[in-house]
Structure 1
Amino acid sequence: MAIKGNLKEASLPDVLQLLAMGQKTGCLSLTDRSNFGYIFFDRGRITYASIVNRRDRLGDLLVKNGLIQPAELAGAIDEQARDPAKSRLGEILIRRGAITREQLEQYIRIQIEEAVYYLFTWAQGSFYFEAEQRPDEGAMRVSINPENLLLEGARRIDEWSLIEKKIPSLDLVFEIDRTKPMAGLELSDEQQRIIPLTDGKRTVQELIDESGMVEFDVGKALFGLIQAGFAHPVGRRQAQVKEVPQARIDEHRNLGIAFYKTGMYDEATREFRRVAELQPRNLDARFHLALIGLRKGDDRFALRYLKEVVELGGARASVFHAMSLALERLGRMADARFAADEAARLAPRRPQVLLSRAILLLKLGEVHAAAEGFAAYREVLGSGRPPAAYYAFALLAEAAAGTAEAALRLGDEGIGHHPHAAAIYLHQGTVLERKGDWEGAEAMYRRATEEDGELPQAHKALGDALYRRGAYDEAAEGYGRAVGLNPRLGDDVYFRMGNIHYKRMERTQAVELWRKALEINPRNSVVRTNLELVESVLR
C-alpha cells in the first residue's frame, strides 16, 4: 500500500523510522517542489539514495580523500560521457585500476548517506512511498540502518536552521574581505578550500560545484567565515541575457520526468513548460505535457500540445497514437480513426499501436476490420503474452463476427493468463448471454464485480442477469452500485430500477427513477408511457 503525506506534518526522520519499523521494501520519493529525491528500502534498511540534478559527489569524494587525482577523475568522466547509459563512474575507475571495489563500496555508502542528510534539510514539500520498487539495474546498493543516520541528521538540521539565516539562498554571491589578515587563524579544511573561490562573482551553488563538497559542508564553512566577519554578501547573481545552457534545460526535464513518474502532474507540468519556454522547438517537453493531459483526463489540453508537436515536425507514431486516444475520449471518432490509421502507417510493426487501432475499429462497429486488426497485432507480438485488453476486446470482435465458439476459447485463454482481469469476465459473460447460457453469464458477471468493484458496467450486467431471473432485490442492489459509480450509465438502468420499486408498490420512488431515465433518453417511449399511467393514478 502506498504511503504519502506532507513534510510539514510528518518529518523525514519520522517517515524513515516508520518504514524501518515496518520493514518496508520500496521507494520513498520526496520533493520540496523544486527538487526531487529518492530513498530505496529493502526490508526496512536503506539500500540506495539519489537526488535528481544533484552533481554526482562520488568523484569529488575520491579526490578530496586523496584516492585519485583530478586528472584521473577527468579521464573517467570523459569515458563515461561517451556511453553514459552503460558506464558508471565507479566501475570505470575500478577498471582503470584507480580504486578497489572495497573503496568504491565505502564511498558509495558515504555518497548515499550524504544524499539522505541533504534530504533531511527539506522542511516542506511532500513524500510518497511505493512498495516493491527497486533501484535501476546496475546501481550499487548498500545496507544502512536508518536509525544510524537519525542522530547525525538531527544535528545537521539544527545547524542548517542557523546557516539558513545567513545563507537563505544558494543564488547569493559572497566575497572575502581580503583586507582582514587571516594569518595564524585556525581555518577548517573546508574553509581553506572555499576561500579562494569566494570572489564576489561565484554563487554559493557554484562554490558547491567547484569545491566538490556537499551543500552542508560548504554552508557550514561559509557560515563560519560570515560570523567571523571575513565574508559578506554582495548580492544575487544577475540574470544574463544569453543562450540557456543545455545543462539547465536538462535539469528541468529531469525534474519533469521524476514528477511525472510519481504522479505529481502539476509539478511535472511546471517543469516541462519551463523547458518549452527555454527551447520553443523542444518536442519532448510538449509530448510529455500531452501525456500529462491524458493522465489527468484533460484531453483538450493533451490535444493542444500534440498538435504543436506535429506542427513543429514531430509527426511520430507515438504522437498520433496519443492523439487518437484523446480524440476518442472527446467523442470525435472519425478524427480518432484518422489518427490511429496514421500511427499504424508510421509504425506498422509496433504492437501497442496495432492493438489500440483494433479496439477503436471495434468501437466504431467495423467488426471484420477489427478482427483483422487483432490478428495483425497477434502476428506482430509473436510469442509475447498479450495484455488483458487484447483478450477483452478481441473476444467481442470474434463474437460480433459470428464466431462465438472462437470468442469463448479466446476468453478462456485470456482468463488463464489474466485471472484477475474483470473486463475479460464481463465480455465473456456477454458472449455466453448471447448464446443463451444465462447461468454461465451470471457467473461471469459476478466474478467481474468481485475482481473490480469499481467497474460500473459489471454491476449493471449482473443486475440485468438477476432482473431477468426475477431476483429483484439483488438486481436493485447491483443497479444501485452501478449508478453510484456512474450516474449516467444508461436510461435502461433507471427504467428497471423504477420497475422494481413499482413492483414493491413504491410508486413515488418509481416515478423519480423513470424521470431520470427520460432525462438521459427523452425518446424512450416505454418509460414515458409508464410515467403517464402512474402519474394519472397518483393525481
Structure 2
Amino acid sequence: MAIKGNLKEASLPDVLQLLAMGQKTGCLALTDRSNFGYVFFERGRITYASIVNRRDRLGDLLVKNGLLNPVDLAAAIEEQPRHPGVRLGELLIRRGAITRDQLEQYIRIQIEEAVYFLFTWTQGTFSFEPEQRPEEGAMLVSINPENLLLEGARRIDEWSLIEKKIPSLDLVFEIDRSKPLASLELSDDQRKILPLIDGRRSVQELIEESGMVEFDVGKALFGYIQAGIAHPVGRRQAQVKEVPQARIDEHRNLGVAFYRTAMYDEATREFRRVAELQPRNVDARFHLALIGLRKGDDRFALRYLREVVEIGGPRATVFHSMSLALERLGRVADARLAADEALKLAPKRPQVLLSRAVLLLKAGEAHEAAEAFREYRRVMEGKRVPPAYYAFAVLAEAAAGAPDAAIRLGEEAIAQHPHAAPVYLHLGSVYERKGSWEKAEAMYRRAADEDRELPQAHKALGDALYRRGAYDDAAECYGRAARLNPRLGDDVYFRMGNIHYKRMERQQAVELWRKALEINPQNSVVRTNLELVESVLR
C-alpha cells in the first residue's frame, strides 16, 4: 500500500523510522518545490538514494582523495558513451583504476550524503511506492536507517548554527594571515581546506575542489570563522551560461523522476516547461502523452501524440499509443487504423501485434483475430507470454468456432499464470458456451477470488448463481459488481430488481429497474416490468 504525506506534518526522520520498523521494500520519493530525491529500501534497510540534478561527484571524490588518477577519470568519462547502461564506477573498475571495495566505500558515502541532504527539507511532499527497486546496474548498499537518523539529527543541529555564518554557498571567504595559526588545534578537514580559502573561491568551489562533502567543509570553515581567522569578502556571482540545453535537461530529468514515481501532476509541469523552452522537443510531448495514458485522460494523450507525429514524423510507438487511447475512448475502428499504421512501421514488434489482435477481436473479426494471436505467438517463440495474450486469445479461438482449442489454451494459461483473473473469467465464458455450467461457475468463482476488484468477474459469477436459482448469493455478487462499476450493464440492475421482486420487496425492485432503464432506455422487458408493478403500487 502506498504511503503519502506532507513533510510539514511528518518529518523525513519519522518516515524513515516508520519504513525501517515495518521492514518495507520500495521507493520513497520526495519533492521540495522543484527539487526531487528518492531513497530505496529493501526489508527496511536503505540500499540506494539520489537527488535529481544534483551533481554526481563520485569521480571528483575519488580524485581529490588520492584514489584515482585524473587521467583515468577523463578516459573513463570519454569511454562511457560507447557503453550505454554501464555506470562510470563499473568502467573505472574494468580499467583497473580503482577496486570494487573503494568504489563501494564512496558509493556508500554518496548515498549517506544524499539522505543527510534530504533531512534539510522541511516542506514538500513524500510518497512511498512498495516493491519498486533501483534501475538495473545501480550499485546497492545496505544501511541501517537508525545509524543515519542519529548522525542526521546531529548534523541538523550543527548546521542550524553553521548556516547563520554561512547562509549561502556563493559566499567567498579569506584567511586573515596576520593572526597566528600555529597556536590553533586544526582538524584534518581544516588543514585540507586551508590552502583553498584564498579570497577568490566560493564555498561551493571549496566543496568541489577539496573532494569533501558539504557538511564537512561547512563545519571546518565555521571553526575558522568562530576563531576569527576567516571572514567573508564577497559573493561569487553565479555565471550565467547561455546553455539552454542544460536548463532543458534539468526540467526533463525532474519530469522523468516524477513520472517514474507516479507523481503525474509534477511531471506534467516539468515536461510542459521543456516544451515551452524547446517548441520542437518530441520527447517532452511523448512523455506528456504517456502521462495522459497513465491518468486515463485519453484525449489529453491524443493531443500530444498528434503533435509528436507532426514534429517528429511517424513512429510505431506513437501509433501504438494512439491505438490504446482510441480503443479506451470506444473508437475501435480508429484504433484499428492506428494499430495498422504501427504494424507497417514495426511488423514484428510484439506489443503492436498483440494490441492489433485484441482490436480485431473487439471489432468482431474472430477468424482474423485468432490468426493475429497465432502470429504474435510465433514472434514470441521461446519467450514467456503475458496473461493478456491468453485472456483474449481464448476468446478469439472460441469466437472463431474452436472451443476445444480455446480450452486447451486456457489450461495452458492457468499453468503459466495461476493468479490471472481475466484468464479464468474468459475461460469460464467458453465453458458456458459449451453448456458446461458447473465448470463455468467454478472459473468465475476463481476469477472473483483472484481479483476482488474486477467487477466483470462478480457479475459473471452472479449470472451463474442466478441461472441455478441461488438468488441470495447472486444478489451479493451483483451488488459488489455494481459498487465497483455502477455502469457495468443494465442486466445487473434488471436481475437485482427481479431478485427483490421475488422477495416481495417491490419498491426496491422498482428502483433497480429504473436504474437499468437509465443505462439502457431500449430495454423493453424492464419497461414492461416497471409499468406493471408501478400500476399495482399506485
What is the TM-score with the length of structure 1 in the denominator? 0.89
Residues 500-519 of structure 1 aligned to structure 2 (within 5 Å): 500-519=499-518
> Aligned with 1:85: secondary structure?
coil
How far did 1:22 drift? Answer: 3.4
Residue of structure 1 equivalent to 2:249:
250
Letter in 2 for 1:283: V
> Aligned with 1:487: secondary structure?
coil
Residue of structure 2 equivalent to 1:39:
39
Residue of structure 2 equivalent to 1:184:
179
How far did 1:212 drift? Answer: 4.7
Is the alpha carbon distance of 1:524 and 1:21 closer, same or farther for their aligned partners in structure 2, counting shifts above 3 Å? closer
2 CA distance for matches of 1:336 and 1:487?
26
> Aligned with 2:395: secondary structure?
helix
Do the aligned residues in 2 keep the contact of 1:367 with 1:397 (CA within 8 Å)? yes
Letter in 2 for 1:9: E
How far did 1:39 drift? Answer: 2.8
How far did 1:2 drift? Answer: 4.0
Residue of structure 2 equivalent to 1:489:
488
The answer to whether 1:498 aligns with 2:518 is no
Do the aligned residues in 1 keep the contact of 2:432 with 2:440 (CA within 8 Å)? yes
Residues 109-188 of structure 1 aligned to structure 2 (within 5 Å): 109-163=108-162, 173-176=170-173, 181-184=176-179, 188=190
Residues 277-292 of structure 1 aligned to structure 2 (within 5 Å): 277-292=276-291
Which stretch of the first structure deviates more once superposed, 391-400 or 248-257?
248-257
Is the alpha carbon distance of 1:193 and 1:368 closer, same or farther for their aligned partners in structure 2, counting shifts above 3 Å? farther
Is the alpha carbon distance of 1:502 and 1:38 closer, same or farther for their aligned partners in structure 2, counting shifts above 3 Å? same
1 CA distance for matches of 2:260 and 2:218?
32
Residue of structure 2 equivalent to 1:58:
58
The answer to whether 1:7 aligns with 2:3 is no
Do the aligned residues in 2 keep the contact of 1:482 with 1:489 (CA within 8 Å)? yes
Do the aligned residues in 1 keep the contact of 2:3 with 2:127 (CA within 8 Å)? yes
Letter in 1 for 2:346: A
Residue of structure 1 equivalent to 2:80:
80
Residue of structure 1 equivalent to 2:265:
266
Residues 125-183 of structure 1: per-residue CA shift (max 9 Å, x gap):
3333344444444433333322222222112222334455666676xx4355x7x9444
Is the alpha carbon distance of 1:299 and 1:135 closer, same or farther for their aligned partners in structure 2, counting shifts above 3 Å? closer
> Aligned with 2:141: secondary structure?
coil
Residue of structure 2 equivalent to 1:315:
314
Residue of structure 2 equivalent to 1:375:
374
Do the aligned residues in 2 keep the contact of 1:163 with 1:219 (CA within 8 Å)? yes
Is the alpha carbon distance of 1:205 and 1:401 closer, same or farther for their aligned partners in structure 2, counting shifts above 3 Å? farther
2 CA distance for matches of 1:96 and 1:398?
56
How far did 1:208 drift? Answer: 5.0
1 CA distance for matches of 2:27 and 2:199?
37
- What is the CA RMSD across the aligned residues, in angstroms? 2.8
How far did 1:323 drift? Answer: 0.6
Is the alpha carbon distance of 1:289 and 1:163 closer, same or farther for their aligned partners in structure 2, counting shifts above 3 Å? farther
1 CA distance for matches of 2:195 and 2:273?
35
2 CA distance for matches of 1:315 and 1:452?
38
Letter in 2 for 1:256: G
2 CA distance for matches of 1:226 and 1:278?
43
Residue of structure 2 equivalent to 1:421:
420
Residues 217-236 of structure 1: per-residue CA shift (max 9 Å, x gap):
45556767888683266597
Letter in 2 for 1:14: D
Do the aligned residues in 1 keep the contact of 2:193 with 2:206 (CA within 8 Å)? no
Count how many residue pairs are aligned between Structure 1 and Structure 2: 529
Residue of structure 1 equivalent to 2:358:
359
Q: Which runs of 5+ in 2 are unaligned?
A: none
Letter in 1 for 2:471: Y
Residues 429-477 of structure 1: per-residue CA shift (max 9 Å, x gap):
1111111111111111111111111111111111111111111111111
> Aligned with 1:141: secondary structure?
coil
Residues 73-103 of structure 1: per-residue CA shift (max 9 Å, x gap):
33333333443522x3334444444433333
2 CA distance for matches of 1:121 and 1:312?
42
Residue of structure 1 equivalent to 2:28:
28
2 CA distance for matches of 1:95 and 1:367?
55
1 CA distance for matches of 2:327 and 2:240?
45
2 CA distance for matches of 1:412 and 1:196?
77
2 CA distance for matches of 1:224 and 1:103?
30
1 CA distance for matches of 2:232 and 2:193?
11
> Aligned with 2:118: secondary structure?
helix
Letter in 2 for 1:249: I
Do the aligned residues in 1 keep the contact of 2:172 with 2:236 (CA within 8 Å)? no
The answer to whether 1:461 aligns with 2:456 is no
Letter in 1 for 2:415: G
How far did 1:285 drift? Answer: 1.2
Residues 274-332 of structure 1: per-residue CA shift (max 9 Å, x gap):
22222221111111110000000111110111011000024111100111111111222
1 CA distance for matches of 2:336 and 2:491?
29
2 CA distance for matches of 1:409 and 1:424?
12
Letter in 1 for 2:254: L
Do the aligned residues in 1 keep the contact of 2:428 with 2:443 (CA within 8 Å)? yes
Is the alpha carbon distance of 1:82 and 1:425 closer, same or farther for their aligned partners in structure 2, counting shifts above 3 Å? closer
Do the aligned residues in 2 keep the contact of 1:198 with 1:207 (CA within 8 Å)? no
How far did 1:69 drift? Answer: 4.3
Letter in 2 for 1:433: E
> Aligned with 2:66: secondary structure?
coil
Residue of structure 1 equivalent to 2:231:
230
2 CA distance for matches of 1:303 and 1:452?
30
Identity %: 78
2 CA distance for matches of 1:12 and 1:109?
19
The answer to whether 1:445 aligns with 2:473 is no
> Aligned with 1:280: secondary structure?
coil
How far did 1:266 drift? Answer: 1.1
1 CA distance for matches of 2:160 and 2:57?
23
> Aligned with 1:230: secondary structure?
strand
How far did 1:268 drift? Answer: 1.2
Is the alpha carbon distance of 1:13 and 1:185 closer, same or farther for their aligned partners in structure 2, counting shifts above 3 Å? farther
